[in-house]
Chain A
């Protein structure tokens, strides 16, 4: 049987991080095939619930990525997102989800290399943690 591969949901903002992923692709930069991408207009659109729901539905990790602070296409969406992520952190701890399963990053449209690095990092982090418990108690 082949080795277990983590499945990671990457929620990317349309203007920076999605374009960064695109650049990584056209530049043929290699990164692990572990992510499934959802494109959102802005990282500010991401409700913390999206992240919890992804983990519950069976994703092993979640990455949310937006424009660098100061570069938001909508001026301030990523600042608001940053606050929401800050709020989510203690909650994840309370729920008992390992902090490395949920990661946030800022990737611009020109950072194809960085996109690949971020994906490689989260993939390795999640691989170390093993499969997610899907918010259920194992009996």
Chain B
């Protein structure tokens, strides 16, 4: 059941008004939402306590320049204070925030996490080069019109978690023709907000449910196709090497990743530095090496460190200057590693991080499981 927010002419505007109201009524102390940057070609996360500033903000931004969970991490990493903040974000950002809270990097006690039905995002590079076309494109996406897959962030075209009821509050608008938004509480915190606004959650959601189900069906099909293609591309060691051949080791993927929270990445630390002599020795053994060294070790290492929490937001691909489909590979791998533990990253269901918990009797068929989980992931062919 859900409460109803009438829309009027503009979906995003209606959500803005809602956020403004909860600020004005002191239901929260601040809201965190995107705002267009002064140059007009991107958006930034702004936390605002002054309700008049909400007018200049944008509830749903066409792009995702900074993963929202990173914004929440910077706000609460050092512990929480007394300000209650509502953060309105894409579902993948909320899921990343939930993962980070499990990792102790985001403190959710005073946060109200709100998500909306996400139609996908416009890739950063195309938006920056032509913001007005990017905004038009996003309007079409919001309205449910068909856009060509190549124009949308690749990870969005295969996203199956675009609508998310694990948030404290969810803004559902798919299938409602742009006339109203359903406010779906996902937790007691979300319920409290609705109560404070005296909005009864008495609306039946079947039309929205059906629209989401239909979209998910479509998305699952395109994800499966993407997985199949990626699985082919990364088959065997040579496949991986080919996919990452153009990597220049800038580590933008790691920096853009909401899950990679380490202040000093292991791969940039002293521990990972190889002694220059042994580096030369390995060059001698192999006749030559590629510099900067250990690029594959970095990617596969990062995979082992974070794929269980990967939310497939696609930020890594967006930040890659060499156009490597990092996100597609990480999603593919994450899907398999998470399945191995029956874990789904970003769920607020009390499931602990797989590597932080264990059962005494489990994984007895570890050998079979590994080979099942990695079709084509073997070097020997």
Contact = CB atoms under 8 A, between A and B. Distances in A.
Interface in B1-48: 38
A18 B38 CA distance: 42
Contacts of B342: none
A137 interface: yes
Interface size class, chain B: under 10
B48 to A, nearest CB: 12
B56 interface: yes
A139 to B, nearest CB: 7
Nearest to B53: A139
A139 B38 CA distance: 9
Nearest to A139: B56
Contacts, number: 3
Interface string A119-139: 000000000000000000101
A42 to B, nearest CB: 29
Contacts of A137: 38
Contacts of B38: 137, 139
B33 to A, nearest CB: 15
Contacts of B56: 139
A58 to B, nearest CB: 16
A21 to B, nearest CB: 33
A137 B44 CA distance: 14
Contacts of A139: 38, 56
Interface string B55-80: 01000000000000000000000000
A20 to B, nearest CB: 37
B56 to A, nearest CB: 7
A41 B38 CA distance: 41
Interface in B308-334: none
A137 B35 CA distance: 14
A139 B36 CA distance: 12
Nearest to B37: A137
Interface string A40-74: 00000000000000000000000000000000000
Interface string B114-126: 0000000000000
Nearest to A137: B38
Interface of A: 137, 139
**3 A-B pairs with the lowest CB-CB distances in the bound complex, closest first:** A137-B38, A139-B56, A139-B38
3 contacts: A137-B38, A139-B38, A139-B56
